[in-house]
Amino acid sequence: MTPYTNLTDHADQINKPAYLNSIPSCAKLKLIKKHKVLDIACISKSTLHLKMNDGLFPPSIALGDRARAHIEHEVLAVVAAQIQGRNKDEIRSLVSKLVDLRQDLTLGVFA
| Global pTM value | 0.74
pLDDT in tens, 55-81: 999 999 999 999 999 999 999 999 999
Which phi-psi region, left, alpha or beta, contains residue 62 (left: φ > 0; alpha: ψ -120 to 50)? Answer: beta
- Identify which of 81, 79, 9 has the alpha carbon closest to the alpha carbon of residue 39: 79
What are the tens digits of pLDDT across the range 84-105?
999 999 999 999 999 998 887 6
**Whether 44 contacts 57, CB under 8 Å:** no
CATH class of the structural domain 30-101: mainly alpha
